[in-house]
Amino acid sequence: MGKQLTVEDAKQSLTDHVAAKGTELRDKYGPTLGWAELEQILQDRDFVRYPCDIKFDATELQQGEFAHPVANGARPEDGYTMFVHPYFATQRERVPHLVLYQLVEVNYGGFASSDDAEAFGAAALGLTKEAYYQAICALADELT
C-alpha cells in the first residue's frame, strides 16, 4: 500500500505548482514584468484562470491592504475585479508585484496560502521568496 498523502503534502504540492506556474509566466512574459505585461497576463488563461480586471479603488480593501480580488458574481467564471489601492495608480510599474501576490486567490481560492502567493510572485519576478516578501512588505508599509 502506498504512502497516504497528508494535508502538508497537499499544501507543498500546491506551493510547488504555483512556483512552477510563476516560472512559466516569467519565461513567457519576463524577464521584466511591467504594466503592459501585466495587462497581457490578465488575459492569458494559462496563468489567470478567470477574467480579472484592475480597479484602483480602496473601497473593498481592509486597512493597510494593497490589493484584493473580489468576485464579480456567484461563479468564478463571472470573473474578478482586482481592487488595488489608488496610492499605486500613478506607480503602475510597481503594480505587478501587488497583483501577482493576489492572483493565487483568483486561481485557487481559499486553498492558496500566503506562502503560495509568495512562491508564485517570487518565481514570476525572478526573485527569492524572501526578497519578494520584503518587497511586498515595503509596498504595504507605504500605505501606513
Domain count, the chain: 1
Averaged pLDDT, 28-55: 96
Residue 41 pLDDT: 98
d(CA 35, CA 31): 13
Residue 24 pLDDT: 98
Domain that holds residue 21: 12-141
Confidence of residue 144 (pLDDT cuts 50, 70, 90): confident
Is 4 inside a domain boundary? no
Is 58 inside a domain boundary? yes
Is 98 inside a domain boundary? yes
Is 43 inside a domain boundary? yes
Q: Which one-letter DSSP state was computed for residue 63?
A: T
Is 64 inside a domain boundary? yes
Is 3 inside a domain boundary? no
Residue 64 pLDDT: 86
d(CA 36, CA 143): 24
Q: Cβ neighbours of residue 12 under 8 Å, at least 6 residues apart?
A: none
pTM: 0.91
Confidence of residue 72 (pLDDT cuts 50, 70, 90): very high
